[in-house]
Structure 1
Amino acid sequence: MWLGLGRITQIGVRAAGHQLGDTVVIAGLGLLGQLVAQYVALAGARTILALDPAPARLAFLAGLPTVQPFAGSAADALAAVRSANDGFRADVAYDVTGHHAVLPTLLPLVRDAGTVVVLGDTGRPHLQTLTPDLVTRGLHLVGAHDSQAPVQSPTRGLWTGRRMEEFFLHLLTQGRMNVRPLITHRFAPAAAAEAYEMLRTSRASAMGCLFVWSD
């Protein structure tokens, strides 16, 4: 599981084209958003605005000094973004929510010629809409998906999915990334119905859930 998530999020962060000192907005702090935040911190972000309506999800980022949590939606976050960035908008924003309605509320949070990364597929992309910001302010809209990772590398400089997975493991073994706190629940396989009911009714209280198989 973790290798796949580490690869998918790395594809998005690489696509963003970060610069040292970026101010970054991340909307959606599920497992993917949590890993994006850790990668972006390693990439030299000055400030990371973490947006999620669920305070419990924001708490997982308490160990990252660059993170400023915002328990709300992107639609209400512009003042917080400006406050965290000397009055300016963000350099890069990530939509990691998986919800089609978030993209148009995220575009106004990015500076002129800034970048918005849509990480993953909403499942209903035909419902996503744009705002005039994209054209009038020259924003860069980037889609990032697991299918973009090449299987083989024709040059040494091209990152394949396997190389990204190996780099993710390298960061974990060095302690520069940490997924241990993100495993919040463990269930026996016989408790599968209980696990899925918990996720259905109390999704915000859970992060990573594992089924523990034993003899």
Structure 2
Amino acid sequence: MAKKIVFQGKGHVELIDFETGELTADHVRLKTTCSLISTGTEGICFNRLFAPGTHWDDWVKYPFATGYCTVGTVIEVGSEVSGWKIGHRAFARVVHASEHLVKPSQLFPIPDSVSDTDAMWSALSMIGSMVLHTGDIRLEDDVAIIGAGPIGQMALRWCVAAGCNTIICDPVLMRLEMARAGGVGAVFQGSVGEFGSAIEGFFGAKPRIVIDTTGIASVFSAALPLVRNFGTLVLLGDTGDPSQQCLTPDALRRGVRIHACHVSHETSDWFESRIHQQFYRLLNAGRFSIDGLNTHRFLPHECVDAYSLTSTKRAETMGVWFDWSKSSVP
């Protein structure tokens, strides 16, 4: 019997049994080896930190199968499937579960040189990559990043790979040390309200690009004044209550633009398979490091402890993941 992690209500998570079903000719069976918790998105879902009537409210219905960062091994291949063989490793944006029946189009091959626990960051890396392609960032731009959580770490590493000059703000020292390991030019430990002087001290002026990765509604109005005239505030974090994100005079009086980026913003020349390939290429070239980001490992039956940790002590975590390897799943 396969197992998956589901939210049964606000603050209530369980590991349950389920049937994956019979393999069809056009599907592949994937056995999960590891899956990463998206602590921001899943935290909003788990604790219902969203307003009624939002897209979150439409999405989170119980029982709610959670997660979207899974790595596994192909263990069965449908008769009409080509390009995939038993033993191939793949990344897929599917929920936390021990097995999956998926279409080949949902799978992305992982090079032998990339570990499972690095590859499970592929979806968060994809989100971070959107700041480059759809966020109006140029080669060697000055970029200030607010928030050094998992999405902030990914956005930072893409910006560094693009040759940008970067500074990042977060109140948590551990996160800033991880940003240093990711190649950031400077760090500021404190609140976004105090970030302005550090930014101008580092760049010598306001930056053209500020990225808000926090998903905290109140940060939006504090971030707008940090951008130079006619610059861009990139929203990469998705808040649970967008009605609380308030404009300031900076948009109208100084021409500050607001550009929202989301994992769904694929284009004809920047799409999921290409993004994952670039991510793996940068990992292999030593230009994008996941080293040190995986901080907490849990077995699937420890899911209550995992989500308790990410809810009550999130600042002490970064990469919180489930080990689904054969010897670990009861």
TM-score, length-scaled by structure 1: 0.90
2:15 counterpart residue number = none
2:243 counterpart residue number = 126
For residues 103-122 of structure 1, the aligned pairs below 5 Å read: 103-122=220-239
* Alpha-carbon distance in 2 for matches of 1:121, 1:198: 21
How far is the alpha carbon of 1:64 from its aligned partner?
Answer: 4.4
1:74 counterpart residue number = 192
Instruction: Write the letter of the residue equivalent to 2:309.
Output: M
* Alpha-carbon distance in 2 for matches of 1:12, 1:177: 16
- Alpha carbons 2:132, 2:138 under 8 Å: kept: no
2:144 counterpart residue number = 25
Size of the aligned set, in residue pairs, is 207
Q: Which runs of 5+ in 2 are unaligned?
A: 1-68, 70-120
RMSD over equivalenced CA pairs, Å: 1.5
Change (3 A) 1:4 1:116: same
User: Is 1:90 paired with 2:219?
Assistant: no
CA distances 1:86-117 after superposition (whole Å, capped 9, x unpaired): 2x111100010011110110111111111110
- Alpha carbons 1:27, 1:52 under 8 Å: kept: yes
Any idea what SS the aligned residue of 1:113 has? coil
- Farther-moved stretch of structure 1 (69-78 vs 101-110): 69-78
How far is the alpha carbon of 1:44 from its aligned partner?
Answer: 1.4
Any idea what SS the aligned residue of 1:38 has? helix
- Alpha carbons 2:132, 2:158 under 8 Å: kept: yes
2:158 counterpart residue number = 39
Any idea what SS the aligned residue of 1:147 has? coil
Any idea what SS the aligned residue of 1:93 has? strand
Which of these residues, 177, 189, 193, is aligned with residue 300 of structure 2?
Answer: 189
How far is the alpha carbon of 1:66 from its aligned partner?
Answer: 4.1
Q: Which runs of 5+ in 1 are unaligned?
A: none
* Alpha-carbon distance in 2 for matches of 1:64, 1:184: 15
The percentage of aligned residue pairs carrying the same residue is: 34
* Alpha-carbon distance in 1 for matches of 2:184, 2:123: 25
Which of these residues, 127, 146, 153, is aligned with residue 8 of structure 1?
Answer: 127
Change (3 A) 1:25 1:128: same
- Higher fraction of strand: 2
Any idea what SS the aligned residue of 1:198 has? helix
- Alpha carbons 2:172, 2:189 under 8 Å: kept: yes
How far is the alpha carbon of 1:212 from its aligned partner?
Answer: 1.1
CA distances 1:108-134 after superposition (whole Å, capped 9, x unpaired): 111111111001421211111111011
How far is the alpha carbon of 1:22 from its aligned partner?
Answer: 2.1
How far is the alpha carbon of 1:11 from its aligned partner?
Answer: 1.3
User: Is 1:206 paired with 2:317?
Assistant: yes
1:145 counterpart residue number = 262
Change (3 A) 1:200 1:64: closer
* Alpha-carbon distance in 1 for matches of 2:248, 2:188: 23
Which of these residues, 163, 177, 189, is aligned with residue 288 of structure 2?
Answer: 177
How far is the alpha carbon of 1:67 from its aligned partner?
Answer: 2.4
TM-score, length-scaled by structure 2: 0.60
How far is the alpha carbon of 1:63 from its aligned partner?
Answer: 2.5
- Higher fraction of helix: 1
